[in-house]
Amino acid sequence: MSKLNAFLGIDVGSISTKAVILDEGNAILAQEYIWTEGNPIGAVKKLLGLLEKQFDPESWQIVGVGATGSARRLVGSIVGATVVKNEITAHAVGTTTFHPDVRTILEIGGQDSKIILVENGIAVDYAMNTLCAAGTGAFLSSQARRLGIEVEEMGQYALRSTHPTMIAARCTVFAESDLVHKIQMGHPREDIIAGVCRAVASNYINNVGKGKKICSPVVFQGGVSKNVGVVRAFEDLLGCPVIVDDNGHLMGATGAAILARRSLKRTQFDFSVENMEFVTRERNCGGCSNNCEVICVYRNGRLIDFWGNRCERGAARTDETPHP
């Protein structure tokens, strides 16, 4: 009996790495979620190992692989992805597949935040934070550390508050000094935590969501959507219910898998990638005063891909070795 087609989607973000395997009808065959821990290659290898255990190679064959997230290029070349897509498109495709009536997608991740507006199941507009990481997961983590609690507990603390403290949310650095001041003034911890959650939501609406018409139904995803304090703050500020999907963290990976299915490119994916040795090397081209930072990726000592060069002079040669 011939095997059925399956599609792998991998989403490597700054903080977490996610993957799903879908069948032709978008049913999830396998899924996994782990921390990137500053090592995207290691995370992907580990992730594939975990997926392989959930996967039945007797009845399924992975024929398409999609990569997304900030490390999509790197991971795409390692796993031999058939589609490499930016995370905004991947999220839009993933979310509209599971919530066809969605109008607004809010997404707050570890380093960036975005808003996607949808009309009739089609993404029509989006905005992304500027290169500053204010009001993202990284901000919540550092504030949690300052308050001596786990970032996962923040939501529960926030829900116990009846009087969220006002925290200036314009900029992370200002927010932090405001927060320290409020702690020293004796504001209760619950109120401060609720204030931080509120600050994240209002900062988002005033920056990323500025000038955008936020219509219901609203779907909220990304790591920060797991914080019920922020969800509550969004509901208060927007005056409408905010949907958080249980699989919200997988939407990027799901979108990547769906895009791999829609694309006509096919491959025969093999889990053996997890046992190969991958090395990356950065070298400065030095061919001109642009001095491009060229990234070279090696599989078992052989160059498989490179990027970062602005012109041909910076192109890596296939006979270059990972250890000069």
Partner 1 sequence: MNESRMPAIGIPRAMLYYRYGALWEQFLQALGVSFQLSPPSSRGILETGTRLAPDESCLSLKMFMGHVDTLVGRCERILIPRYSNYGYTELFCTRYEGLYDQARNIFRSSGQRFITCNIDAQNGSPEAKAFELFGVELGFSARQSRRAWQEASKALKQKQKAEEQSQKELAAKPGMKVLIAGHSYILSDPYLGMPILDCLVSSGAVTLRADALESETARKACAKFSPTCRWIVSEEIVGGVLHWKEKADGIILVSAFPCGPDSMTNELLIRRLKGMPILPLVLDTQSGMAGVETRIESFLDIIRFQRGDMV
> What are the residues binding partner 1 (CB under 8 A)?
70, 85-89, 92, 122-126, 128, 130-131, 211, 259, 262-263, 288-293, 310
CA angle 224, 229, 231 (to 5 degrees): 65
Least distance between partner 1 and beta carbon 4 (Å):
22
User: Of the two residues 156 and 290, which places its CB atom closer to partner 1 in the complex?
Assistant: 290
User: Of the two residues 88 and 167, which places its CB atom closer to partner 1 in the complex?
Assistant: 88
Query: Distance between CA atoms of 249 and 253, rounded to whole angstroms?
Result: 8
Least distance between partner 1 and beta carbon 76 (Å):
13
Residue 287, judged by CB atoms within 10 A of its CB (0-12, 13-18, 19+), counts as middle
Two tokens at 198? Answer: 């509120």
User: Of the two residues 130 and 142, which places its CB atom closer to partner 1 in the complex?
Assistant: 130
Least distance between partner 1 and beta carbon 287 (Å):
11
Query: Distance between CA atoms of 26 and 210, rounded to whole angstroms?
Result: 34
User: Of the two residues 125 and 270, which places its CB atom closer to partner 1 in the complex?
Assistant: 125
Least distance between partner 1 and beta carbon 311 (Å):
10
User: Of the two residues 72 and 182, which places its CB atom closer to partner 1 in the complex?
Assistant: 72
- 165: three-class secondary structure by DSSP: coil
User: Of the two residues 180 and 315, which places its CB atom closer to partner 1 in the complex?
Assistant: 315
Contacts (Cβ under 8 Å, ≥6 apart) of 191: 161, 162, 163, 164, 165
DSSP 88: H
Least distance between partner 1 and beta carbon 119 (Å):
9
State the greatest distance between any 2 C-alpha atoms of the chain, in Å, as a whole number.
Answer: 71
Given a contact cutoff of 8 angstroms between Cβ atoms, the answer to whether 55 and 30 are in contact is: yes
Least distance between partner 1 and beta carbon 208 (Å):
12
Query: Distance between CA atoms of 95 and 280, rounded to whole angstroms?
Result: 33
User: Of the two residues 63 and 194, which places its CB atom closer to partner 1 in the complex?
Assistant: 63
Element containing residue 87 per DSSP (H, E): helix 87-98
Given a contact cutoff of 8 angstroms between Cβ atoms, the answer to whether 227 and 154 are in contact is: yes
- What's the order of all strands across the beta sheet hosting 83-84? 28-35, 16-23, 4-12, 60-68, 83-84
Least distance between partner 1 and beta carbon 134 (Å):
14
